[in-house]
Chain A
């Protein structure tokens, strides 16, 4: 799919998304909270393996939502979003492993570090449009990869930084029901809380007047500029926010994966997260998390049964993307609309 072709599609989904948002608002149900509560039961109701999968889905969901702030909300296609994820992972990993900084400081620092790098790279990127923008984001992410791969003394080079310590979570023992949980399950609960808060903030940003301006820029940047909006500044702000949240996701992922490696910042990971976002539905707030869940689950199931996983996964993605051009959530939404029309008729 070319960048140019995706814009009207995004626009169409954006309209649907606005309608959806209004429905939710009128219903007044805090979906982030509901899904959060459902997911929080996993360590008790599921196995250790379910907790493990749920952790990965939760972290990828935040990463994909941060990308969608650019893709779905601002209309910027980034091929290098993994750079900010990687910066966050390395900042948190280096602080915690090399310098023994507590997680409560390293976690916000990783978001800030990623946002700062997004500010520097974004300053140049937003000066370009469409494919040129995408290529420059890719270039910046490859610079980060090269640094991660080569700077042995700090990043561990291609061997990475294994054994990132878990944060101190002994205090959770005092919470009723949490005393028996393993460190992995405790970290999952912490991740879930942090991701839920982050998602609520991103959701709030999208609904704010600031978010509406971003949507306007996505739909018609010339017209937005004509209205007196500083398009580049808004795009840069969106870029920095998206980078910061990607950094937070990276910090969590480094601890979850028990190490930070140069693979995290390789461009193929950017493609993976782009697929998650589009697979779930870039026009919907909950599209990327659903895409993350679907891709993590598919990858897990397929690699278990065949070493030709890439062929099977590719075929499934092809069918899904052709069958549901609006992503999984878009497809479900369409189905729901049709059912409603049938009922009303």
Chain B
């Protein structure tokens, strides 16, 4: 009787046997990315950008005469699922490289897999510094996004520009990203403006359904300006609750939000509830109101618009786009798809992106990518807030340790 269970087990194993190995000579890029759950709002646009880059590169003859192929898997924004699909992509599908992940738990987890399997892995979104710090760096990990130290310097620079501000309060989600970012802002602010005092720090949890008590507690300290790290869906809740309480009026809209609420995704979601006048940041403002848009950016947005069929395509797509482009450049430079060769090629490599040139730092394997900062304003031509005079910050960054 019980042998049936054994048979059932065996047949399950047998049916998962890999189908005949695919001999097509594409260069395979495994793409584990969150496509379900709340983090999918980042995963979906990053995937779109990557797909656009792949289709453009393939239309131009591919890389080393071979076409690129994306193998996309839903990482469910969950570290162990990201590890599972990444290992599956490597050992079953035989991918040559990995690009992907969003959260600060997924990226270091997949980095371990990349290191053990000697496969180059580029993280397009995660900002946690532990991904590439001296303790965790290895030849196969690369990051194209900013990190919390870089964002900290940029945000502190913006706050320091308000000369009459003497007291600053902070509010950020109570988990690694929020804590690291706020700590970096405070540290940089102390250097840039020793006269500024931090008068209040609020730590709502990620996914907080009601910010009222945090808002009123902060208002009672009467800060001149606020550093905010609340982002995405949480920022929508926060902004809608803070406005009627007179929060933004009290600080005269002098808030810097470093959580990327200057993205098209965020401004679309908030519509006219957007707290106009605050300073926000984004990897790509998409819309340039001032007319000094870089020509390569205009070209990229036109292609993305056609690809996504959206009049205002998502900001996050640029991270998928430039990461795949960087990998393609690395493969070309190495002249091979061998991960050791590509890793050597990527270290110190400068590559073009729609938003300027970037270089992978030799020691940290990341570009310390600056982001666009600017005041969010209402303009008649757009149904949502737009960034006025987007400026890349920080202008320069030197890594410590």
Which A300-345 residues have C-beta < 8 A from chain B?
Answer: 300-301, 303-304, 307, 309-310, 328-329, 332-333, 336
Which A279-312 residues have C-beta < 8 A from chain B?
Answer: 286, 289-290, 293-294, 297, 300-301, 303-304, 307, 309-310
6 further contact pairs, Cβ within 8 A, besides A47-B18, A162-B109: A50-B16, A159-B108, A259-B109, A261-B105, A261-B109, A303-B73
User: Which B residues are in CB contact (< 8 Å) with A50?
Assistant: 13, 16-17
User: Which B residues are in CB contact (< 8 Å) with A290?
Assistant: 5, 8-9
Q: Which 5 A-B pairs have the closest CB atoms?
A: A261-B79, A49-B92, A162-B108, A48-B91, A307-B35
Residue of A nearest to B37 (CB): A310
The reply to whether the CB of B250 lies closer than 8 angstroms to some CB of chain A is: no
Cβ-neighbour of B12 out of A31, A56, A297 (below 8 A) = A297
The reply to whether the CB of A212 lies closer than 8 angstroms to some CB of chain B is: no
Q: Contact at A162–B16, with CB atoms within 8 Å?
A: no
Q: Contact at B16–A294, with CB atoms within 8 Å?
A: no
Q: What are 15 A-B residue pairs whose CB atoms fall within 8 Å in the complex?
A: A31-B6, A35-B5, A49-B18, A158-B177, A159-B104, A159-B130, A258-B83, A258-B113, A259-B83, A261-B78, A263-B80, A290-B9, A300-B16, A300-B88, A307-B35
Q: Contact at B9–A35, with CB atoms within 8 Å?
A: yes
A259-B112 contact in complex given A159-B130, A160-B79, C-beta closer than 8 Å: yes
Cα-based distance from A300 to B84 in the complex (angstroms): 9
User: Which B residues are in CB contact (< 8 Å) with A301?
Assistant: 16
List residues of chain A with CB under 8 Å of any chain B CB. Answer: 20, 23-24, 29, 31, 34-35, 38-39, 42, 46-50, 52-54, 56-57, 149-150, 152, 157-160, 162-163, 253, 257-259, 261-264, 286, 289-290, 293-294, 297, 300-301, 303-304, 307, 309-310, 328-329, 332-333, 336
The reply to whether the CB of B162 lies closer than 8 angstroms to some CB of chain A is: no
Q: Contact at A286–B5, with CB atoms within 8 Å?
A: yes
Q: Contact at B83–A304, with CB atoms within 8 Å?
A: no
Residue of A nearest to B13 (CB): A50
The reply to whether the CB of B221 lies closer than 8 angstroms to some CB of chain A is: no
| Closest Cβ–Cβ distance, residue A311 to chain B (whole Å) | 10
Which B1-36 residues have C-beta < 8 A from chain A?
Answer: 1-6, 8-10, 12-13, 15-18, 35-36
Cα-based distance from A157 to B109 in the complex (angstroms): 13
User: Which A residues are in CB contact (< 8 Å) with B2?
Assistant: 20, 24, 29, 31, 286
Cα-based distance from A259 to B115 in the complex (angstroms): 13
Residue of B nearest to A56 (CB): B84
Cα-based distance from A23 to B130 in the complex (angstroms): 56
Q: Contact at A293–B12, with CB atoms within 8 Å?
A: yes
User: Which A residues are in CB contact (< 8 Å) with B200?
Assistant: none
Cα-based distance from A258 to B177 in the complex (angstroms): 22
A46-B176 contact in complex given A24-B2, A332-B5, C-beta closer than 8 Å: no
Q: Contact at A263–B83, with CB atoms within 8 Å?
A: no
User: Which A residues are in CB contact (< 8 Å) with B73?
Assistant: 303-304
Q: Contact at A158–B176, with CB atoms within 8 Å?
A: yes
Q: Contact at B136–A157, with CB atoms within 8 Å?
A: no
Which B323-379 residues have C-beta < 8 A from chain A?
Answer: none
Q: Contact at B8–A332, with CB atoms within 8 Å?
A: yes
Which B88-119 residues have C-beta < 8 A from chain A?
Answer: 88, 91-92, 103-105, 108-109, 111-113, 115-116
| Closest Cβ–Cβ distance, residue B154 to chain A (whole Å) | 22
User: Which B residues are in CB contact (< 8 Å) with A29?
Assistant: 2
Q: Contact at A263–B6, with CB atoms within 8 Å?
A: no
User: Which A residues are in CB contact (< 8 Å) with B108?
Assistant: 159-160, 162, 259
User: Which B residues are in CB contact (< 8 Å) with A163?
Assistant: 112, 115, 136
Taking each of A54, A293, A336, which has the highest tally of chain B beta carbons within 10 Å of its own beta carbon?
A293
A261-B13 contact in complex given A23-B1, A307-B74, C-beta closer than 8 Å: no
User: Which B residues are in CB contact (< 8 Å) with A52?
Assistant: 87-88, 91
Q: Contact at A328–B36, with CB atoms within 8 Å?
A: no
Residue of A nearest to B74 (CB): A307
User: Which B residues are in CB contact (< 8 Å) with A332?
Assistant: 4-5, 8
User: Which A residues are in CB contact (< 8 Å) with B87?
Assistant: 52
| Closest Cβ–Cβ distance, residue A337 to chain B (whole Å) | 10
User: Which B residues are in CB contact (< 8 Å) with A264?
Assistant: 80
| Closest Cβ–Cβ distance, residue B38 to chain A (whole Å) | 13
Q: Contact at B8–A257, with CB atoms within 8 Å?
A: no
Q: Contact at B105–A263, with CB atoms within 8 Å?
A: yes
| Closest Cβ–Cβ distance, residue B6 to chain A (whole Å) | 5
Residue of A nearest to B138 (CB): A163
User: Which B residues are in CB contact (< 8 Å) with A329?
Assistant: 5
| Closest Cβ–Cβ distance, residue A273 to chain B (whole Å) | 13
A293-B8 contact in complex given A23-B1, A163-B136, A261-B80, C-beta closer than 8 Å: yes
The reply to whether the CB of B179 lies closer than 8 angstroms to some CB of chain A is: yes
Cβ proximity bits B174-186 to A, threshold 8 Å, 1 near / 0 not: 1111010000000
Q: Contact at A159–B105, with CB atoms within 8 Å?
A: yes
Q: Contact at B16–A53, with CB atoms within 8 Å?
A: yes
Cα-based distance from A23 to B2 in the complex (angstroms): 10
User: Which B residues are in CB contact (< 8 Å) with A310?
Assistant: 36
Residue of A nearest to B35 (CB): A307
User: Which A residues are in CB contact (< 8 Å) with B10?
Assistant: 38
Q: Contact at A257–B80, with CB atoms within 8 Å?
A: yes
Taking each of B87, B105, B112, which has the highest tally of chain A beta carbons within 10 Å of its own beta carbon?
B105
Residue of B nearest to A31 (CB): B2
A38-B9 contact in complex given A159-B130, A259-B109, A263-B78, C-beta closer than 8 Å: yes
The reply to whether the CB of B286 lies closer than 8 angstroms to some CB of chain A is: no
Cβ-neighbour of B105 out of A39, A158, A286 (below 8 A) = A158
Cα-based distance from A212 to B92 in the complex (angstroms): 45
Q: Contact at A46–B80, with CB atoms within 8 Å?
A: no
User: Which B residues are in CB contact (< 8 Å) with A309?
Assistant: 36, 74
A303-B80 contact in complex given A29-B2, A38-B10, C-beta closer than 8 Å: no
User: Which A residues are in CB contact (< 8 Å) with B3?
Assistant: 31, 34
Cα-based distance from A219 to B54 in the complex (angstroms): 61
User: Which A residues are in CB contact (< 8 Å) with B8?
Assistant: 290, 293, 328, 332
Taking each of A34, A150, A307, which has the highest tally of chain B beta carbons within 10 Å of its own beta carbon?
A307
User: Which B residues are in CB contact (< 8 Å) with A304?
Assistant: 73, 88
The reply to whether the CB of B298 lies closer than 8 angstroms to some CB of chain A is: no
| Closest Cβ–Cβ distance, residue A330 to chain B (whole Å) | 12
The reply to whether the CB of B199 lies closer than 8 angstroms to some CB of chain A is: no
| Closest Cβ–Cβ distance, residue A232 to chain B (whole Å) | 34
